[in-house]
Structure formats: structure tokens, C-alpha cells
């Protein structure tokens, strides 16, 4: 198997904060690899190191077989980068943005123009092609961002939280685009805070927390390890919470948690649902809500790390900004 991306022991510190604490990655060519983790986990820092924007303090990495430090210029000829912090120029039109990149990549004026036209059509931006990007909607901006990273037909594409802040429809459109790229043989490294997104797109997922990969596997493997689903029970009378806690804990064999008058417990076997219902009925507990839902990132984290994902932690970019 050939690897489009390999990283060994990447360490990167910002002052006293360690953003990457020894990250190893191996992404097979032609696959989608998901880096899943909360804000501040080190995902963006990892992408910035791999995309040659940031030097690692320790460890090394190759992209397309080239070292990201020594052969940065070669790596840049193989990659595309789209993300929160790699953006288009708002004061240029869609066409001008893509022309700019085509020209910077050494295309002739004519080639750059026809490539821009083709990408704008592929991404349903033809009607907006001559408008400044600052007038675009969030979904259009992301599509233009993605188009901009594809001008040079990259072999390896970095997508840093490509759907954060997008509505569900735009998100689905973006997912379809990524699937098509992979069908064409592009290797994609995707960072996301959403388990569902990693699940939808990635063949393999690495869960990142505090700058380390704490779990890795296919989405199915991870879900099996982390329970995969969560049973939520909310009694009408909050006084019943201790009984509900005891029943769910006993039936599932896991440790339930209470939040907002709801008991939540990881579930591996959907067969526990009827058992819980019978026990609640026998205990004459009236229930306002009883649901089996997919584990959220939070629960994956809880189960893998014993602590919740800290959603309000500073992002990597914030850390870098604080330091300057």
C-alpha cells in the first residue's frame, strides 16, 4: 500500500501550550482520512504542518513522498488546501479568484480562464462568477474555496472543517463533491468536529485530543468501541431520576450520566431498549422522552477519554494569535 501522507511523532508547541504532542498518521493513497476532535485538539495545527504552512518542532512528515520541510515547494505542487483559515479573496469575483490561482500555478491566461470557467460550472457558481466573493452566501463561499483548492488538480487535498457553519443542504452538497473527488483518485485529509461527517466521508478516522491521536479505526470500529448509540430517558417527574439512573445502569452495564433532567447512557446492543422500557413500566415511572440516538462526538470523547470534549477551548488559530 502506498501512503499519500505519512507523519511520525509530530510535535508543535506554542509557548507553554503543546498543540501537537506526538502525532503519527498514515493515509493510504486515494482514501479519505478523518481527523476528528474538538476545538483546540490540534487538528488545524496538524493540517498546517502537513500543508507546509507551519514547521513542526519535532518529528517529520511526507506528502506524496516528499518531506514537508525540505521539499516544501514540491509538496505545494501536489496539494490543495481549503479550510477555515485558507480562504478566497473577498474583494475579487469568483472568476478572478480562480484566475489568480491558475496564473500563480503557471497556467497560461487562456488555460487559467477555461479552468476557472469549468470549475465555476462544476460548483454551480456560473451565475455568480462575475460578482465579488463578499456577496456570496456561506455555502457559495465554501464551494468557491474548494474550487480554488482544485485549480491545480491536487493529488492530496486538505479540508480543514469544510462544513463548519454550513446549513444541512450546503453540507450535503459539499459531501457529494468530496465523494466525487475521491472517486477520481484524490487523497483527502479531512478535519471535523462532527462524528457524522467523519462517518459519512472517511474510510478511516483518527480521534484527536490534546494534540494526540487517542483512537484510530474505521467508523464502524470506533462506534463499536465507543458504544455507538446513546439511550436517553427523561422522566416526567425529576424525583424519579435516581431510579432511572439505577435501572439504565443495571440494564446496560455502563455508567449513565444526568444532564438537564435526562439520563444518557452509552448502548452497544439495541436489545437493551425493550428491557429498559419493561423495567421502567414495572417501576411505574412516567417518561416524557425515551430515545435511542447516535453517539455524538461528545459521547465518543467521554467514552474514549473519560472527559467531555471541551467545545469552548481556544482554537489553534486563537493560540497562534495570542502568541504574536
Q: Using CB under 8 A, which residues numbered 122 to 141 contact other proteins?
A: 122, 132, 134
Question: In terms of C-beta density within 10 A (0-12 exposed, 13-18 middle, 19 or more buried), how is residue 299 classed?
Answer: buried
How far apart, in whole angstroms, are the C-alpha atoms of residue 159 and residue 174? 11
> Judged by CB under 8 A, which stretch of 35-43, 143-151, 260-268, 293-301 contacts other proteins?
143-151
Our finding on whether 161 is near other proteins (CB under 8 A) is no
Task: Report the residue from 180, 218, 294, 311 that binds other proteins according to the rule CB under 8 A.
Answer: 180
Task: Kindly provide the b/e burial profile for residues 54-79, where b requires at least 16 CB atoms within 10 angstroms of the residue's own CB.
Answer: bebeebebbbbebebeebeeebbebb
Q: Cell triple for residue 315?
A: 482554537
How far apart, in whole angstroms, are the C-alpha atoms of residue 189 and residue 221? 19
DSSP conformational letter for 144: H
- Per the DSSP assignment, residues forming a β-bridge with 266 are 230
State in angstroms the smallest separation of the CB of 88 from other proteins: 7
Our finding on whether 101 is near other proteins (CB under 8 A) is yes
Q: Which is nearer to other proteins, 81 or 215 (CB)?
A: 81
Q: Which is nearer to other proteins, 133 or 231 (CB)?
A: 133
State in angstroms the smallest separation of the CB of 40 from other proteins: 18
Task: Report the residue from 24, 57, 67, 89 that binds other proteins according to the rule CB under 8 A.
Answer: 89
Our finding on whether 173 is near other proteins (CB under 8 A) is no
> In 10 A of CB 224, how many CB atoms?
12
Q: Residues 24-63 vs other proteins: string with x where CB under 8 A?
A: ------------------------x--xxxx---------
Our finding on whether 104 is near other proteins (CB under 8 A) is yes
Task: Report the residue from 110, 184, 284, 306 that binds other proteins according to the rule CB under 8 A.
Answer: 184
Cβ neighbours of residue 96 closer than 8 Å, sequence gap 6 or more: 89
How far apart, in whole angstroms, are the C-alpha atoms of residue 162 and residue 142? 7
> Judged by CB under 8 A, which stretch of 179-187, 210-218, 271-279, 303-311 contacts other proteins?
179-187
State in angstroms the smallest separation of the CB of 37 from other proteins: 20
State in angstroms the smallest separation of the CB of 184 from other proteins: 5
# residues near other proteins by CB under 8 A: 51
DSSP conformational letter for 79: E
Asked if residue 39 lies in contact with residue 28, where contact means CB atoms within 8 angstroms, the answer is: no
> Judged by CB under 8 A, which stretch of 75-83, 261-269, 277-285, 294-302 contacts other proteins?
75-83
Cβ neighbours of residue 310 closer than 8 Å, sequence gap 6 or more: 38, 39, 40
How far apart, in whole angstroms, are the C-alpha atoms of residue 280 and residue 286? 8
Chain residues binding other proteins by CB under 8 A are: 48, 51-54, 71, 73-74, 76-81, 83-93, 96, 100-101, 103-106, 122, 132, 134, 148-150, 152-155, 180-181, 184-186, 320-321, 323-324
Amino acid at each position: 500500500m502506498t501512503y499519500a501522507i505519512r507523519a511520525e511523532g509530530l510535535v508543535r508547541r506554542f509557548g507553554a501550550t503543546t498543540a501537537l504532542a506526538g502525532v503519527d498518521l498514515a493515509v493510504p493513497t486515494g482514501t479519505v482520512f478523518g481527523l476528528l476532535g474538538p476545538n483546540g485538539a490540534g487538528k488545524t495545527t496538524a493540517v498546517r504542518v502537513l500543508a507546509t504552512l507551519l514547521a513542526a518542532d519535532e518529528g517529520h512528515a511526507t506528502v506524496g513522498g516528499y518531506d514537508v520541510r525540505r521539499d516544501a515547494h514540491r509538496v505545494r505542487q501536489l496539494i490543495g488546501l481549503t479550510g477555515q483559515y485558507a480562504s478566497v479573496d473577498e474583494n475579487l469575483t469568483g472568476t478572478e479568484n480562480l484566475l489568480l490561482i491558475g496564473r500563480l500555478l503557471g497556467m497560461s491566461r487562456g488555460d487559467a480562464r477555461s479552468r476557472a470557467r469549468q470549475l465555476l460550472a462544476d460548483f454551480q457558481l456560473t451565475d455568480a462568477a462575475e460578482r465579488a466573493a463578499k456577496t456570496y452566501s456561506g455555502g457559495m463561499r465554501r464551494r468557491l474555496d474548494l474550487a480554488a483548492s482544485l485549480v491545480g488538480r491536487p493529488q492530496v487535498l486538505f479540508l480543514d472543517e469544510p462544513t463548519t457553519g454550513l446549513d444541512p443542504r450546503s453540507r450535503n452538497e459539499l459531501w457529494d463533491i468530496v465523494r466525487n473527488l475521491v472517486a477520481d483518485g484524490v487523497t483527502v485529509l479531512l478535519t471535523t468536529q462532527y462524528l457524522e461527517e467523519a462517518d459519512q466521508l472517511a474510510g478511516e478516522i483518527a480521534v484527536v485530543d490534546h494534540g494526540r491521536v487517542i483512537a484510530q479505526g474505521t467508523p464502524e470500529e470506533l462506534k463499536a468501541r465507543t458504544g455507538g448509540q446513546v439511550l436517553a430517558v427523561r422522566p416526567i417527574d425529576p424525583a424519579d431520576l435516581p431510579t432511572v439512573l439505577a435501572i439504565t445502569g443495571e440494564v446496560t452495564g455502563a455508567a449513565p450520566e444526568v444532564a438537564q433532567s435526562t439520563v444518557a447512557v452509552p448502548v452497544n446492543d439495541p436489545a437493551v431498549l425493550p428491557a429498559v422500557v419493561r423495567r421502567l413500566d414495572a417501576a411505574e415511572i412516567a417518561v416524557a422522552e425515551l430515545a435511542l440516538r447516535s453517539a455524538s462526538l461528545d459521547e465518543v470523547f467521554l467514552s474514549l477519554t473519560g472527559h467531555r470534549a471541551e467545545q469552548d477551548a481556544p482554537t489553534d488559530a486563537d493560540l497562534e494569535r495570542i502568541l504574536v
